[in-house]
Chains A and B, each alone.
Chain A
Amino acid sequence: MRTSDSLRKTYGETLVELGKDNKDIVMLEADLGNSTMSAMFGAAYPDRYFQVGIAEQNMASVAAGLSLAGKIPFINSFAVFATGRGYDQIRSSVAIASLNVKICGSSAGLSDFGDGKTHQSIDDIALMQVLPNMTVLSPCDAIETEKMAKAMVECDGPIYLRINRNDLPLVSDPKANYKIGQMTEMVQGKDVVVFATGVMVQQSMEAAKILEKEGISIRVVNVSTIKPLDIDALESFCDGVKGVVTAEEHSIIGGLGSAVCSALSNKRLPIEVLGVQDRFGTSAENYSILLKNFGLESEDVAKKVRKILADN
């Protein structure tokens, strides 16, 4: 059972564990293995580790070839490069034929705080969820990351996993069963439902505490599979509430908010979309400064909830 707060380390360790029995798992990386933690796999199984150099496009298509030869390739880079730099390769070589390629984008969202906008990924969910056949996963903590990595190996087809560069507190239930596609109620409540993903799950859980003191009860749902979105579950979590808030560390365009709005478009429910406004990131001394300045803190979630209730 995971006790680490590091999603990256957990990802690396879990793949090493999985690779012990499953010899089909191969890892590819493009010179960022020490950051993505895929290097751990390379240390354990050098024969099944392909350092392709700084060439993400080649990496994606080589992974397609490896999957055609029966392997389960994982490609690793920063989220921004893994998805954006090799987008057409993922689209054409991987997604069209629905090949069994796993893409891990670490340093997703603004989490690579120091490196700034070129290295921050506020569009990766949009790019990946628009592709037919692609599954998009966004864990809220290390516990879920471990479960996802295991499920990714079990599940045939292309999957994108976006993980945070920074440590996140353990908020999910280690004993709960996990399967790709499910969304999980983290906090029970009745006034407003907050659908959150990634780091925003923890922020929304804190918002629930803030609001509780004001006599407002929110339901927090962790949407860790953004695609396929479980629309039945989504609708059932909306039962009885006065409105919906979505919260993500991603552009408000094309991410979880867009997906939820589409799915609930025939419901007469007010929806507030919380995320990065239509702009790029920036460098900062630490991650908290970015979360604060991009409006991604618990208080920002609370504000959206209050707005819904005030408009009601």
Chain B
Amino acid sequence: MNYSQEQVTKLKKKAIQVRANILEMIPPGKVGHLGGSSSIADVMAALYFHAMNVNASDPKDSKRDRLIMSKGHAVLVQYACLVEFGYFSREELGKVKTFKGMLQGHPDMDKTPGIEAVTGSLGQGLSVALGLALGFRLDKLPNHVYAILGDGELAEGQVWEAVMAAHGFKANNLTAIVDFNGLQATSTTKEIFPIENLAQKWSSFGWNVIEIDGHNMVQILDALEAAKAFTEGPSVILAHTIKGKCFPFAEGKAKYHNAAMTEDEYKEAWACIENLKKEVEA
């Protein structure tokens, strides 16, 4: 446990700020991936503001850890983190998905500082992360690589190709994080394919599996530490989350995978942010 209660509180505040930043990107009437961005917001806050070595003054710093957003549609949450470091100006948040903005609808390393790969066609991010991890290991570099996957994304066969390969290559500088929110674009993950015993599935492929409540900051931090400390091979954190977390009107609803909020919902969402701020202060 290399963190204090004070840090935990700081990170909880960051997670609220991250969700506020997400709201800024999807004002009423603008379609955006609210659900899958807010489900992974706590994990992303822990990664960017605690676990990862990032250098905002030099986005291409060779010492930086890498985060590959395999579930690329949730890139809003990554923009929400990056803007806190000043990778780009806050004004850009309002220009997301516009012709003149630098924040694309899906991650684009050529357009956005701090984005490390092109993702969005699902199922590819873990493989890219594995390639990076293997490259760092060849050069004997300590950089750690994280890949964020959606649970629905696990239906892509390539994910399991990467799972097998990462174990085969004993890639211990790689951590996969599954945003296990149980929902995908059209329905629940369970209805679409058998996702039960997910921990056993990964573990049978030789991965070190850590299962947590993906909204509990202490559990998240412990898991990230444990994953990095495990040196026998790759680790996966199965983060149980709620799609649309912190916005009750959207929580657990497939509809908010990619939707526009009404004026009322938007107001409600901001009220949620204010309440969360009060809670964490208390």
Complex: how many Å from CA A73 to CA B138?
A: 13
Contact A58/B108 with A65-B130, A92-B121, A93-B118 known, Cβ cut-off 8 Å? no
Contact B135–A65 (Cβ < 8 Å)? yes
Complex: how many Å from CA A65 to CA B109?
A: 13
8 A Cβ contacts from A56-75 to B:
57-58, 60-71, 73
B279 at the interface (CB under 8 A from A): no
Contact A69–B161 (Cβ < 8 Å)? no
> Interface centre among A53, A55, A57, A61, by most B CB within 10 Å?
A61
A21 at the interface (CB under 8 A from B): no
Interface size class of A (residues with CB under 8 A): 20 to 34
A88 at the interface (CB under 8 A from B): yes
Contact A61–B135 (Cβ < 8 Å)? no
Interface size class of B (residues with CB under 8 A): 35 or more
B133 at the interface (CB under 8 A from A): yes
A190 at the interface (CB under 8 A from B): no
Interface SS, A side: helix
8 A Cβ contacts from B126-173 to A:
127-136, 138-139, 145, 157-158, 161-162, 164-165, 168-169
8 A Cβ contacts from B165-192 to A:
165, 168-169
Contact A62–B162 (Cβ < 8 Å)? yes
Complex: how many Å from CA A55 to CA B163?
A: 11
What residues of B have a CB within 8 angstroms of the CB of A88 in the complex? 121, 124
Stretch at the interface among A2-10, A44-52, A294-302: A44-52
Least Cβ–Cβ distance between B9 and chain A, in angstroms = 35
Contact B131–A65 (Cβ < 8 Å)? yes
Contact B128–A62 (Cβ < 8 Å)? yes
Give 26 A-B contacts (CB < 8 Å), ordered by A residue.
A50-B134, A52-B161, A55-B164, A57-B123, A60-B127, A62-B131, A62-B165, A64-B127, A65-B117, A65-B129, A65-B130, A65-B133, A68-B131, A69-B131, A69-B135, A69-B138, A70-B135, A71-B135, A88-B124, A89-B127, A89-B158, A92-B124, A93-B124, A93-B128, A97-B110, A98-B110
Interface residues of A (CB under 8 A from B): 26, 47-48, 50, 52-53, 55, 57-58, 60-71, 73, 88-89, 91-93, 96-98
Question: What 5 pairs across the A-B complex have the smallest Cβ distances?
Answer: A65-B131, A69-B135, A61-B127, A58-B161, A55-B161
